[in-house]
Structure 1
């Protein structure tokens, strides 16, 4: 695994950590969607740049799962098309 593959997996861990920090009854859902979505997209970009097969697949799948979770948060907020 090269540095971009490690950065891609790190983006997933940072996303999970940010979700745990931002949760609660008074959580700002818009802020969470923006932070988690941007970290996930950045992680997918890092996975594609890594050019390693294993780290690319792991990075895209795990960051894609975070992106699907962000979409569900967007649906819960009620502003998705």
Structure 2
């Protein structure tokens, strides 16, 4: 499932409903290059127990990266 990182708590609500309807195995979180810090990742993981597999850090295909939890935490404190 693809979610917009800028939607915050709404992303968690959307993910819960979508998971109930179709069964979600992973999340692609887009727009992490914007002002969003991606804090919704933590809530999503806790609330719906589905891993974030990929993140979008820009507008191009080369800006798609596998999610790395260690890099994410480091970026939160930069």
What TM-score bracket applies, with the shorter chain setting the length?
Answer: 0.3 to 0.5
- Structure in which a larger fraction of residues adopt helix: 1
Question: Which protein has the larger Cα radius of gyration, Structure 1 or Structure 2?
Answer: 1
TM-score by length of 1: 0.35
Which structure has more RCO (C-alpha within 8 Å, separation ≥ 6)? Answer: 1
TM-score by length of 2: 0.36
